[in-house]
Chains A and B, each alone.
Chain A
Amino acid sequence: MTQSGRTFFLRPRDAIGIVILAVLLLVILPLALDNFRLQFVGKYLTYAFVALGLVLCWGYAGILSLGQGVFFGLGGYCMAMYLKLEASSVENTKIQSTPGIPDFMDWNQITSLPWFWEPFRSFGFTTLAVIVVPAIFAFIVGFAMFKRRVGGVYFAIITQALAAILTILIIGQQGYTGGINGITDLRTLHGWDIRTDSAKTVLYFVCVGLLLACILIAYFVKSSKLGRILVAMRDKEDRVRFSGYDVASFKVFVFCLAASLSAIGGAMFTLQVGFMSPSFVGIVPSIEMVIYTAVGGRLSILGAIYGTLLVNWAKTSFSESFPELWLFGLGGLFIAVVLLFPNGIAGLWQTYVAPRLGPLFSDKPKAAVRTAATPPASPSGPVAPAAAE
């Protein structure tokens, strides 16, 4: 980003990075992996949407959310409601006491479809809801918090509480939500059976396509003046405010954007894995998603994608052999990253690998080293600790 200015929002380096990722996800992995393994990658990639949102929200804007599972879940549940309704046709459910409603409702003595399920019969509405419902929820939370200048650790704790509350709500309202088991036994999308291997392969490519589109959106935001304002806010919130910006509205915006991105991931999860449950909404998955981002590099859009893939790959291989050790492994990894590599894999790349690849890939070396050495914007207090007096 030099003063000469760019007419296009991608630097050559970013474009090369995106192409490499696209080739890896669209060509190399599908050729190298069997169907079963590829479906795992597809599942991991749905978390990458969340990591992408966290790069913008946490990495750039310094707003740490420990509740992104809420938005992943909202997106996932919206999609699951649509698929469940399609799977619960009168035909399919004629053995129930009330045919035509989801099975878990019938088990819970509910005799008619709740009003808020009704619109999810429409695929158009569902698609819209996947993006808009989480954004509205994020807007309400963000507006209430950021206008009151709640930030930093306090904000993180509140988002964590939200994740807990939503989990409890979903589990408690079994008749409306499917409870702890979630919404399961999803079958078709517009009559197309999503359980077959060929459907799963198609959905994998759809997921990669959407992820690449979201990556482009993230780069667009990052390279706009708004992206620089986020970085400025993270550093000196008061200076931004006293330069004529309504700081809260920028925070609300990036929080909503991160929510919508997470929700797209959630919807793709439901489609590919075939169910959605409260275990993807709560505190643990939300924190895991922050760890993916930290490992990949919270300041790097592409880094967060690789971080998600790597941590999940490690998780799967580890859990196969030592399931009880995984959480310790994950915790250890997080501590190691925070202490030793604050900018994650992307930071290591920028410091050690990129400079050897020539000017196309690296910043001025001085800046790169310095970036890696300063952990930016750890969550700050409730009131901006600007350097002003």
Chain B
Amino acid sequence: MNTQVIADQMNKDFVLAVEGLTVSFDGFKAVNDLSFYVDENEIRVIIGPNGAGKTTVLDLICGRTKATTGSIRFKDRELTTMKEHEIVRAGVGRKFQNPSIYEDLTVFENLEISYPKGRSVVGALTFRRDAAVKGRVHEVAETIFLADQLDQRAEYLSHGQKQWLEIGMLLIQDPELLMLDEPVAGMSVSERKKTAELLNTIIKDRSVIVIEHDMKFVEDIAHKVTVLHQGKILSEGSMAKVQADPKVIEVYLGH
């Protein structure tokens, strides 16, 4: 395979190199011999019909699902053999499809737990809420429009605010690779606009993989688009190229 050879030569330049990735659930291949490469500071959007395997790809990268075969290299570290928390500590952050926040804790505490310090048992027992922590939490809260909600229990936030909070929880980790699963799903028009604005500020200086169905949103942010279908890549390239691809129109955009 030509791309493979080129990729191997240029490996160092890629933040993420996924090669020959396959996962099979009881014989059903949700992801099938998938290869793609994400550059430094690139914003990659993955689109595709329901059940195409988009979420599964993120699950594989962050270690939630173990690959059947294939390799995932992140800055030359093999992720497929690492534990979830090690992958996070290596610099991969992931937002779930449904807002996943701690409802019983305040916004401040939600962000504080995500602050990348004191992650061992002893570290957590002796963790001090010092000026650096508070400063960083306030800074992130400002970015995610929740600065005046810091003492609010997270369960009282609106759906959109919960999504922002989870994005904030990733932001405070400062990951080199950020993966977002449908960040604007279920949002009102105004929330959606604000989220696009938010994403545009946080994607600077890092690589981002976004799964999204909202085409307008994809057009706004994507550097490159990967279209998945039945666990395989149907098409890949710029938004314009993908949108013009007859195969993509047939299985996805045409609907």
Contact = CB atoms under 8 A, between A and B. Distances in A.
Do these two chains really belong together in a complex?
yes
Interface of A: 1-3, 5, 221, 224-226, 228-229, 231-232, 234-236, 238-247, 249-250, 253, 366-367, 370, 376, 386-389
Nearest to A377: B104
Nearest to A239: B100
B119 interface: yes
A238 B96 CA distance: 10
Contacts of A229: 113, 124
A5 B64 CA distance: 34
Contacts of A238: 64, 96, 100
B171 to A, nearest CB: 12
Contacts of A2: 106, 108, 151
23 contacts: A2-B108, A2-B151, A3-B150, A5-B129, A224-B124, A232-B104, A232-B110, A235-B103, A240-B113, A241-B84, A242-B84, A243-B113, A246-B120, A250-B121, A366-B156, A367-B153, A370-B153, A386-B100, A387-B98, A387-B99, A387-B100, A389-B98, A389-B181
A249 B120 CA distance: 8
A389 B97 contact: yes
Which 5 A/B pairs are nearest by Cβ-Cβ distance? A388-B96, A226-B124, A244-B88, A225-B127, A5-B129
A250 B100 contact: no
A241 B97 CA distance: 16
Contact of B105 (A228, A253, A388): A228
A243 B173 contact: yes
B125 interface: yes
Contacts, number: 115
B136 interface: no
B54 to A, nearest CB: 10
Contacts of A236: 100-102
Interface class of chain A by DSSP: helix
B8 to A, nearest CB: 30
Interface residues of B, number: 48
A367 B107 CA distance: 14
Given A244-B116, A249-B121, A228 B96 contact: no
A387 B96 contact: yes
Contacts of A388: 64, 96-98, 100
A5 B134 contact: yes
Given A224-B126, A238-B64, A242-B62, 7 more contacts: A5-B129, A224-B125, A234-B104, A239-B101, A242-B93, A246-B120, A386-B100
Most chain B CB within 10 A, of A225, A245, A249, A386, is at: A225
A356 B99 CA distance: 36
A303 B114 CA distance: 30
Contact of A244 (B102, B129, B173): B173
B80 to A, nearest CB: 16
B169 interface: yes
A232 B114 CA distance: 11
A225 B64 contact: no
A224 B156 CA distance: 24
A232 to B, nearest CB: 4
B229 to A, nearest CB: 19
Most chain B CB within 10 A, of A5, A240, A253, A388, is at: A388
B82 to A, nearest CB: 12
Contacts of B169: 239, 243
A388 B106 CA distance: 20
Interface in B58-106: 62, 64, 83-85, 88-89, 93-94, 96-106
Most chain B CB within 10 A, of A5, A244, A370, is at: A244
B33 interface: no
A232 B102 contact: yes
Nearest to A235: B102
B55 interface: yes
A383 to B, nearest CB: 11
A250 B119 CA distance: 10
B96 A389 contact: yes
